Amino acid sequence: MFQLDLKSGVPICDQIVNGFIKLKALGLISGGEQMPSVRSLALKFSINPNTVQKAYAVLEAQGIIYSVKGRGSFVSDDDRGHSAVIARAKEDFCTAVERARDLGLSAFELKEIVDGVYKTPKSGHKEEKNADG
């Protein structure tokens, strides 16, 4: 699974949404698989079930998961929603590049940063420390 950083200022709901998108991107969850129930995840993270519910609603709206009343939530088989999210991520990265360029950074500098990040071991060094609640 992933972890929450309640101190980060990033809305908990967003962290949950992004957490599952990452898990799917990494192949750690896949089509048809059952999601943890709203209540169980809320309990696990010591947060309010409404927050989890909201995150699941966003994931469902994006086509990443689907929910069946009385049965649970499941990872979607169809990857269109997930692909759309990835496509948007590329656009976002493109915007980030433009911003850096506008501030005078060179293409060389940016590519160095890219390499630097990819050479770093798995875990992002400064994000998502632990769920303290």
Partner DNA sequence: GTGGTCTAGACCACA
The binder of 40, among a second copy, DNA, none, by C-beta within 5 to 8 A per type, is: DNA
Backbone angles phi, psi at 128, to 5 degrees: 50, 65
Q: Which is nearest to 83 in space by CA: 72, 73, 95, 91?
A: 91
Q: Which of 7, 39, 44, 80 binds a second copy (CB under 8 A)?
A: 7
Q: How far apart are CA 118 and CA 101, in angstroms?
A: 21
**Residues 75/29, Cβ–Cβ less than 8 Å:** yes
Nearer to DNA, 10 or 110 (CB): 10
14 binds a second copy (CB under 8 A): no
By the criterion CB under 7 A, which residues form the site for DNA? 11-14, 35, 37-40, 47-51, 53-54, 56-57, 60, 67-73
